[in-house]
Structure formats: structure tokens, C-alpha cells
Amino acid sequence: MKYEPTGREDDEAVLQEWFTAHGITEVECLVTDLTGILKGKIMPARKYLNGGRPRLPDSIFIQTVTGGYPDDEDSRFWNPAEQDMQLIPDTSAVYLVPWAEDPTAQIIHDCYYLNGDPVELSPRYVLKRVLALYAARGWKPVVAPEAEFYLVKTNKDSDYPLEPPIGRSGRQESSRQSYSIDAVNEFDPLFEEMYDYCEAMGLDLDTLIHEEGAGQMEVNFEHGDPLALADQVVMFKRTLRETALRHGMYGTFMAKPMAYQPGSSMHIHQSLVDVATGRNLFADDEGRASTLFRNFIGGLQTYMPSAMPFFAPNVNSYRRLMRSETSGSAPINVEWGFDNRTVGLRVPVSDAEGTRVENRLAGADANPYLVMAASLACGYLGMMAQIEPRPPAVGSAWEGGNSLPDDIGPALNALHSCKPLADILGERFVKSYLAVKRAEHREYFQVISSWEREHLLLRV
């Protein structure tokens, strides 16, 4: 997947036309790091259109969420020289910044070394790598992500717990308001603006609902190409956070922002299209679940426990997945079942064309490129090895207990031992990801919590 300069003239023409149509004066050149944070440079549109392309060091892909770097015990897996990368725009990922005062573009870029090699540490590249495996077989995965999030009161001191926001009524939500339209309308001005921004950016939102938690909402995206939808989720998260700030609140995609409130997920519905015929290969000629579909689920069941650090990348992610009275339907297993929300892999009842599996494991805090790459990699491995899934769960699957790593430490160990995933996602990428996540975990461990001060200080 080398960048071929021959295609670039066409891209320039597309950009030129789009910049002129929108009167663009500034460009935000964006790259998503391992966490999902947008990094990049801002430059004048004039320079950008003259072929100016920014460079960034490849160390942005080995940065922890706090801006640190892993100890260099494993440094042979990245380049300590901090090589420069050339940023090349993807002209299918060009958006307006609708809240900017001067007409500004935000463009998602791919990263290449100066010799033209792609940077394998880039999450967007990891997803492209998995999609190329599907393309080589004439397959096209189709996904529909959902993103849950909380609106919360601004929280200037991070020592204090978060609180639900104040709505138009002047009141703070305190009870379960799942699906309540009036509870969504409490934040009507914010959502009006969010929709305006999404419209201006061309984000394909389907529905918005109120979820179970106080101030918790969910948006669903229309189904489509995984790369385009991962881009859209990244853009949506930025948009929602920005909109919330403009309305005096925070929007957060933390997996478990508040104790005693359900966590936030990023469910991904997945199906598989035959490029030649356009048919959904997850249904057979009689409209029943096909062998490929069963094997895809078999692969998810086999490899998802090892891919856990992509679905649950932070210490906080595992708080969402712990069973408690307030955990809602967050999964603790990789069983599958028809229209069953106690399993990690739900198969919604639908017509043959709509046959799909909803992977419910990922938290909203996960990096959408890596969630899609990991989920599609697990399914691909299952289809290649023709893995039969266990029988579908009937009734509650909670009784089976937690069959997944229940903390980031064991999850990282499981990924470390899984060679098939490293082969698909890239060995250098997986090693670097593990090193970054281990460094974050060590840093977290140095913080003494209020629970320890409350319960241990005077007792032990």
C-alpha cells in the first residue's frame, strides 16, 4: 500500500475545487493516534494548495494518553530516531470545521515514511491492512457503529466525581430515562447545533436516543464502509465534545464516567458483502445464517478475548464491563444469540439482507479504527480456519460468568501471546501498542485513589 504520487494530481484537483467552493482559508491536517486523539498541524490553505504537506515524527504513535513514552526496553519495535512522516490527505475524508470563524477544512491524513513506505504504527493503516485481506477475496465488510456518550456538568477539578448536567428545566436528571424524548429535549439547543454541525460535515447520523444513564445518549450511524465510518466516528466525537463545550457542558466518551451509572459502548454491527454480486454473504440462498457467518462468529469467539486491549483500552474500560446493579447490558462474555442482550455477540432478527452480528464489547473510549480492525481480523481468522461457534445462548448468558480478561493487565498479556492477531494487525504495531498501554498502566498505578485514603488510611 505504497503511496503512488501518480494519483496525487487528481487529489489536488479535488481539493482545489472543494477549497474554492467553501472559500477555505485554513487547513487542519489531522492524524489519529493510538488513543484516538487527533494530532496534526494547522496551515494556511494557500500553502496547502501549493502542495505544502506537513510532516510529523512517527513518535506520535508511541505516545501515551498523558503524553509520555514507554521505557525503551522494546524500542527496537519503533524507531528511537523519531523519523519524520509525510502526511498525505485522503480526499474522501475532507470535512468543514463548522464552528470555525474563518472557513476551515479538517482533513484526515495517512502517514508515509519519506521513502514512501506506509507507517504501520498508524491505527488507520492497521484498519486498511485488514480491509485489504477482505478485498483480496472479493469481500467487502459493511459496518454500522453506535456511539454512547454522557453529557456532564463541567468539572474543573478532576479530584471531584462527575455529575449529570442541568437541562432546560433547570433540573439535574436523577432517574432512568431510557428512550425518553422529553429527556433528550432537555438539551434541545445543544442537539440542534450538533445536528447542524454533523449536516455541514456530511456525517451520516441515523438516530439519537436517550440511554439508560443520567445524561447518557446514543447516536447510530448509517451502515457503510468501515474506513469511512471509523473516520466519521472520530469526527463525531470531536464535534460532540465541541458542541457540549459551547453549551457549558462536557461531552464524554469515557467507558465508565460515573460510579453507579451504566457505561458507554461503541457497538459495531457487521456484515459481509460479495463485491461481485452485492449480496450479503452472511445469509445463504434460503436466507438462513451462512457457513461464513457461523465461522465469522466462531473467529470472534476465539480471538476476541486476546483482542481485548483494542475493545477495552483503558483501566476505566474494565469498570464498564464489571457486572453490578448499574452495569446495564455491558457484556462479560463472547457468547452469541438471537436478539439477546446478555451476550457479547448479538444477532438482531432481520431479513436475509440484514443478516449481521452486533459486536457489543467495545467501549465508547476505544479507537474506532482499532475496534473495527480487531473485530474484522477476529472474524477473518474464523472464516479462514472455518471455526464453528458454540451453540447460540438462549435466555440469560450472565450466569456463565465473566469469560473475558477483567482488567487491562491480563488483557495485555492475552494480546501478547496471540500470534495470529499480530500477524494480521502487524507485529511492530502490536508490540508498540502493548508497550504504550503498559506504560499507561504503570503510570495509573502511581496514583493513590480516594478509596484507599477512605478505607485504608486509618485501618491497616
Ligand X SMILES: NC(=O)CC[C@H](N)C(=O)O
Binding site residues, ligand X, CB under 6 A:
148, 262-265, 320, 328-330, 341, 360
Query: Is residue 4 exposed (0-12), middle (13-18) or buried (19+ Cβ within 10 Å)?
Result: exposed
Q: Smallest distance from the beta carbon of 216 to ligand X, in angstroms?
A: 7
Shortest separation between residue 406's beta carbon and ligand X, angstroms: 15
Comparing CB distances to ligand X, the nearer of 148 and 173 is 148
Residue of 307, 319, 194, 174 whose CA lies nearest to 254: 319
Nearer to ligand X by Cβ, of 320 and 437: the residue is 320
Cβ–Cβ under 8 Å, residues 441 and 389:
no
CB contact at 8 A, 141 and 271:
yes
Min. distance of Cβ 359 from ligand X in angstroms? 11
Q: How far is the CB of 261 from ligand X (least distance, A)?
A: 10
**Conformational region of residue 90, where left means phi above 0, alpha means psi within -120 to 50, and beta covers everything else:** beta
The pairing of strands 345-347 and 336-338 is parallel
| Separation in Å, CA 94 to CA 8, 42, 104, 108, 427 | 15, 14, 11, 7, 30
Minimum CB–partner distance for residue 17 and ligand X (Å): 41
Of 260 and 445, CB closest to ligand X: 260
Between residues 234 and 312, which has the closer beta carbon with respect to ligand X?
312
Q: Which is nearer to ligand X, 263 or 389 (CB)?
A: 263
Measure the CA dihedral 101/104/110/113, to 10°: -90
Closest distance of CB 204 from ligand X, Å: 20
Grid-cell match 451453540, residue found? 391
Contact present, 225 and 102 (Cβ < 8 Å): no
3-state secondary structure of 134: helix
User: What is the C-alpha to C-alpha distance for residues 320 and 346, in angstroms, rounded to an integer?
Assistant: 18
Select 89 or 215, whichever has its Cβ closest to ligand X.
215
Tell me the closest approach of the beta carbon of residue 366 to ligand X, in angstroms: 12
Q: Which of 240, 430 has the CB closer to ligand X?
A: 240
User: Comparing C-alpha atoms, which of 71, 54, 50 is closest to residue 62?
Assistant: 71
Find the shortest distance in angstroms from Cβ 368 to ligand X.
Answer: 16
For residue 68, count other CB atoms closer than 10 A to its CB.
Answer: 14
State which residue, 83 or 220, has the beta carbon closest to ligand X: 220
Question: CB–CB of 40/30 below 8 Å?
Answer: yes
Nearer to ligand X, 59 or 329 (CB): 329
DSSP string, 378-414: HHHHHHHTTPPPPPPP-S--GGG---S--SHHHHHHH
In the bound complex, what is the minimum distance in angstroms from residue 146's beta carbon to ligand X?
8
Instruction: Quickly list H helices, 67-202.
Output: 123-136, 181-185, 188-201
